[in-house]
Amino acid sequence: MKALVAAGGRPRRPRSQGTAALTQAERRIAQQAAQGLSNREIAQALFITEKTVEGHLSGAYRKLGITSRSQLPAAMRPYPQGAR
């Protein structure tokens, strides 16, 4: 693992589910989508492509265990410590 980091690589994140499993980009995009922004609006705000937004949302849905955008607000709510 030290060799990977020394070579400029990043170690894999431990596999988990829920908001703790989201990357920073997935979390930022999922939060904006949960607030009602469209993929186009998110892409324009972050200076990325809509395809990139779609990819991050897809990963977020998988990690959050949801299948639709309407489930995002509840899935992104913080849980009390120890509740999940």
Q: Helix, strand or coil for residue 40?
A: helix
Provide the pLDDT for residue 6: 80
- For 52-74, what is each residue's pLDDT tens digit? 999 999 999 999 999 999 999 99
CATH tag, 23-76: 1.10.10.10
- For 3-55, what is each residue's pLDDT tens digit? 767 887 776 666 577 899 999 999 999 999 999 999 999 999 999 999 999 99
Contacts 24+ apart (CB under 8 A), 62-71: 63/16, 63/17, 63/18, 63/21, 63/22, 63/26, 64/17, 64/18, 64/19, 64/22, 64/30, 65/17, 65/18, 69/33
Provide the pLDDT for residue 31: 97
Residue 84 has pLDDT above 60, yes or no: no
| Annotated domain spans of the chain | 23-76
Residue 80 has pLDDT above 60, yes or no: no
Comparing CA positions, the residue from 64, 73, 67 lying closest to residue 33 is 73
